[in-house]
Chain A
Amino acid sequence: MGRLLIKGFIGNFLNSTYRNIKVFFRYVGSLAILLFRTIFWMFIPPIRKRQILEQMNNIGVKSFPIVFLISTFTGIVLALQSAYQMQKFSAEMYIASLVALSVTRELGPVLTALVIAGRCGAAMTAELGTMKVTEQVEALETLSANPVQYLVVPRFLALIIMVPLLTICADFFGIMGGYLIGVGKLGISHGMYLKMTFDPLALKDIVTGLIKSFSFAVIICVIACFEGVHSAGGAEGVGRATTASVVRSFIMIIIADCFFTALFYFIMAK
């Protein structure tokens, strides 16, 4: 009897796991299809310069203040927290290297992506979702415009340009934040701080960070647009799609981050 129960339990567990995995891969497959369609339509004229610039302004310029704030404070906190330990070994000057490396390799790209997913990804889903439920997406089709080309491509281009650029800014301001604490509070000299920042920092650290941020931009765009144009059921549906967009973007960004970090670790280790 007990055996049967356990068997049933394991069977149910495996069954639901199998179903969830299937749902997950179906979702990723749909995202991949949208991505391929976006890339296809990207090369078909007309290029909508005005819309791309508008999106770049929305995503890049308007997100700059919050990226500035978050990266500067992260730099400050990172320096302070590491000072807490490093002071025990009188190794404060290594704080500069620690801040520089962790910001460029990890925190800059990830924090920027999370901020953009929350700020712009959610807005995109809400906008496209509202367009979908008020039949504007279908209206586009009846006016011979392809919704992917008209709605997704400008957002895609704006994101893959602006997210890496914002990441460079975040790298810079993160290091600045560390500098403020290192030089202002811990008494490291200006020259020493800069030397300890740039000596260990190789181009590959920045480049791997940018590769990550590029892939995060793709993830944000595809998930936000997919959730938007597949939302249904009025205002409630748009709300649900927006939540799903942010949550799924966050999850995929973290998974992708883990994947790329491991990949670069093994490639660089060789």
Chain B
Amino acid sequence: MEQGSDNLMIELKNVSKTFNGRLVLDGLDLSVKTGESLVIIGRSGCGKSVTLKHIIGILRPDCGEVRVDGKDITKLNVKELNKMRMNFGMLFQGAALFDSLSVLKNVGFQLFEYSEMTLDEIKRRVAECLSRVGLKGIEDAKPSELSGGMKKRVGLARAICMFPKIILFDEPTTGLDPIMGDVINDLIRHLHDTLKMTSVTVTHDMKSAYKIADRIAMLYDKKIIAVGTPEEIENSDNPIVKQFVTGAAEGPINSTED
């Protein structure tokens, strides 16, 4: 047994993934401690979301291991994987609410599907989750009637509805105005602190990263090139990290590259 591995909630070892002949992840290693908030930063299209989708098992790596709570999820069958996913909540970039279902059905999706709770109990739990994200009385609305910020918050409520152990955020502030972005950042930090969840956030918004993170990992050229506390990343000597966090056009990262 590796030293300290019992303290790790998520562990990616030597993960590689190819899409249509294009290598997206190449031997990526990453670990997330129980109860910490890790933020993965990197340029658009560098494989951050792909990494996140490996953690929850939507994508399977071509090679390598993905360990969640000590179990290698790449070896699980569909049933075990579905069971394991009950420990997860995920907020998608565009919230990914189900258009055909009301907010109540969206947020309480897993309760309706898998719990024995009565409608009243579900309604109460959904109202509680919505109030945690600062929403009230919109249970009967359809997602198409909500604004972008509200959709994100409903998505967040859906992700925390089962009080998961691990929560994943895919670009939580993208597409929102700066104020709403900051509200979401505060909300994520607050939920993380109050619900004691392990969280992994993917973003290219440095303000968001500093606010949410206990640790920041930088993904560049298919690998994690730096991991550290927000201060360490901010004051990093690595020229690539430095260029990214300062947002400079000039530097080792080629701006014309995908």
Contacts and interface: CB of A to CB of B under 8 A. Distances in A.
Interface of A: 46, 130-131, 134-136, 138-146
A141 B58 contact: yes
A145 B158 CA distance: 14
Across the A-B interface, the 6 shortest Cβ-Cβ residue pairs: A139-B96, A135-B96, A144-B82, A142-B90, A144-B85, A135-B92
Given A143-B85, A146-B78, A138 B113 contact: no
Given A138-B53, A138-B58, A139-B92, A144 B110 contact: yes
Contacts of A139: 90, 92, 96-98
Contacts of B96: 134-136, 138-139
Contacts of B85: 141-144
8 contacts: A136-B97, A136-B99, A138-B92, A139-B96, A144-B83, A144-B86, A145-B82, A145-B113
Interface of B: 53, 56, 58, 78, 82-83, 85-86, 88-90, 92-94, 96-99, 109-110, 113-114, 158
A144 B83 CA distance: 7
A220 B159 CA distance: 35
Contacts of A145: 82, 109, 113
A142 B59 CA distance: 11
A134 B158 CA distance: 16
Contacts of A141: 56, 58, 85
A125 B89 CA distance: 28
A13 B93 CA distance: 47
Contacts of B58: 138, 141-142
A246 B95 CA distance: 30
Nearest to B88: A142
A76 to B, nearest CB: 39
A144 B114 CA distance: 9
A46 B114 CA distance: 10
A52 to B, nearest CB: 14
Nearest to B161: A143
Contacts of A131: 98-99
